[in-house]
Amino acid sequence: MARRYKTKRTVWRVDGADVRRRRDLLATEEPLQIELQAGEARRTAAITMRTPGNDYDLAAGFLFAEGLIRHRHDVARMIYCVDGQASQQQYNFLSVRLRAGRLPEMAQLERYFFVNSACGVCGKTVLDDLAQRELPSLSHPKDAAPLCAPDVLHSLPDGLRAAQRIFDETGGLHAAALFDLAGNLLALREDVGRHNALDKLIGWGLLKRQLPFHDKIIMVSGRASYELLHKCRVAGAPIFCAVSAPSSLAADLADRFGVTLVGFLRDGRFNIYTHPARIGDR
């Protein structure tokens, strides 16, 4: 069944004294429950509000970013839990069966959701937790030639925007895109949640055996939060770009873990917040 990523709704458009009733399109937002199964055990890993579509990518990317799976082979199958009269709404429960005989340790998920609700109070805990992970190496030592020319970065916003198909119809979605060092778009995912968009992109990379994202650039349509930098580092991308500003914890994470962080990439200018040696004429 086709997933409904957009929803029709009646709106009243007001332009000065003129009021007109018309039909409009909104980005669909529905919950997705991700359940893990291993042997006879099962447990909910996450419930997230997302735009339907690329749900397998979303689940794989989330589980990979949180360290619950490490390879594509870890996943035996993914399947929606629906009955014989499946509706759009019933495609909101996704079961992920692992090849392992038991569920992984999931205590980090409690930390993950606590930190989100606490608005970064546990910032040091986040950084220390990431330091315990087995992370892919990042390319480019500090004394090597730059990886990416400024002109390439300047071209990325237009490349991202041109590929936002659902945004063109609804105007209400975030995007995460993967580019090579020449500025060629390799993949893009959209979602109402900025974290979901990046999880979908990383999940695409995992399922297509494209991880880690060595010598690649991740760009997002909004701001740069520490959660996004966390996912970028786990995916092995050396350069992260955002249209808007980064948070202080995002900059701390990028600095500590070797990611080049670029913000305010729009209108022919940008700021480099960490590891600037990767950007320059080669």
Model confidence pLDDT, tens digit, residues 187-229: 999 998 889 999 999 999 999 999 999 999 999 998 899 899 9
Which backbone phi and psi does 237 adopt, to 5 degrees?
Answer: -85, 130
Find all residues with CB under 8 Å of 110, minimum gap 6, and list them: none
Average pLDDT score over residue span 87-103: 83
Using 50, 70 and 90 to split pLDDT, how confident is the model at 155? very high
Lowest pLDDT segment from 2-11, 109-118, 232-241, 271-280 = 109-118
Confidence (pLDDT) at 109: 64
Confidence (pLDDT) at 7: 77
Pick the catalytic residue from 81, 119, 122, 232: 119
Whether the per-residue pLDDT at 91 is higher than 70: the answer is yes
Confidence (pLDDT) at 249: 84
Is residue 232 among the annotated active site residues?
no
Confidence (pLDDT) at 143: 62
- Cα 20 to its chain centre, rounded Å, is 37
Q: Is 138-278 assigned to CATH 3.40.190.10?
A: no
C-alpha closest to that of 234 among 98, 55, 112, 56: 112
Do 67 and 130 contact (CB within 8 A), yes or no? no
Do 250 and 228 contact (CB within 8 A), yes or no? yes
Whether the per-residue pLDDT at 115 is higher than 70: the answer is no
Find all residues with CB under 8 Å of 273, minimum gap 6, and list them: 246, 251, 254, 255, 261, 262, 263
Using 50, 70 and 90 to split pLDDT, how confident is the model at 120? very low
Average pLDDT score over residue span 64-75: 93
Lowest pLDDT segment from 4-8, 30-34, 237-241, 249-253 = 4-8
Using 50, 70 and 90 to split pLDDT, how confident is the model at 13? confident
Confidence (pLDDT) at 3: 60
Whether the per-residue pLDDT at 113 is higher than 50: the answer is no
Confidence (pLDDT) at 169: 62
